[in-house]
Amino acid sequence: MITISNLHKSFGAQQVLRGVSLEVAKGETFVILGRSGSGKSVLLKCLVGLLIPEEGSIKIADVEIVGLPHAKLDEIRKRIGYVFQHAALYDSMTVEENLAFHLERHLRLPKDERDRIIREKLSFVGMEAALHKYPAELSGGMQKRVGLARALVLTPDLVLYDEPTTGLDPITTSEIDELITRLKKQTGVTSMSITHDLQSAARTADTIAVLHEGEIVARGAFEQLQSNPHPFVQQYFSSAKVS
């Protein structure tokens, strides 16, 4: 579903991605772990064409994203749900309007069909009751759920999560992780999630890749990474141990 090869992205003299390569299979939940500032969000933004890498290739369902003209990029973006690091809802719109806005940007639908989709997605994340609320009236965890519902309105083949649980309490975190897992089970969607939360990674990931100093230094299932000899991976996993 995703093939990234030798991706380089710099800002001025700062090299953020220094040759990232990875593959995500269809139906897989792929999690990228890395420290704050390691370039996780930059990587996701490259995937949807919000940032343009200097070098390398990104293929989504065999379509090269790098250098793709805007109109074609928009076609691809329709099939990708993006859950932003900060829920990024429009403050002046209700929950319903936030979802409707995103849906109507890409798809013309009769009103009853549109309403049906919005209710279905909100119900999936357990937020139907918030239909007429404004984002400011919701807690952070509720906003994240609405952000996820919005990412799902076009029934994407691929969902990208930018730190879906950061800043949430452990119970809300596990509820969001459960949603990610349920979505995969019910729809077979492919997803890429970036996080610095090891426990979330353990709960949701089929495969984990560790991003460090602009490169993927290790990849594998959670149990495999626990015994990975790379010093940074060791440090990362041991720093999160509760003892």
Ligand X SMILES: Nc1ncnc2c1ncn2[C@@H]1O[C@H](COP(=O)(O)OP(=O)(O)OP(=O)(O)O)[C@@H](O)[C@H]1O
Q: Which residues of this chain interact with ligand X, rule CB under 6 A?
A: 11, 16, 34, 36-42, 85, 196
The interaxial angle of helices 95-106 and 111-124, nearest 10 deg, is 120
Helices (H), 125-167: 140-152
What DSSP string runs through 55-100? Answer: EEEEEETTEE-TT--HHHHHHHHHTEEEE-SS----TTS-HHHHHH
Nearest Cα to Cα of residue 151 among 115, 118, 174 = 118
Nearer to Mg ion, 22 or 99 (CB): 22
Closest CB 39 distance from ligand X, rounded Å: 4
Closest CB 75 distance from Mg ion, rounded Å: 26
Residue 57 interacting partner from Mg ion, ligand X, none (CB closer than 5 to 8 Å by kind):
none
Nearer to ligand X, 131 or 217 (CB): 217
Binding stretches for Mg ion (CB under 5 A): 41
Nearer to ligand X, 86 or 230 (CB): 86
Residue 11 interacting partner from Mg ion, ligand X, none (CB closer than 5 to 8 Å by kind):
ligand X
CA 104 – CA 23 distance, rounded (Å) = 32
Q: How far is CA 89 from CA 24, 146, 170, in A?
A: 28, 8, 23
Closest CB 126 distance from ligand X, rounded Å: 26
Closest CB 135 distance from ligand X, rounded Å: 20
Nearer to Mg ion, 29 or 195 (CB): 195
Residue type, 32: I
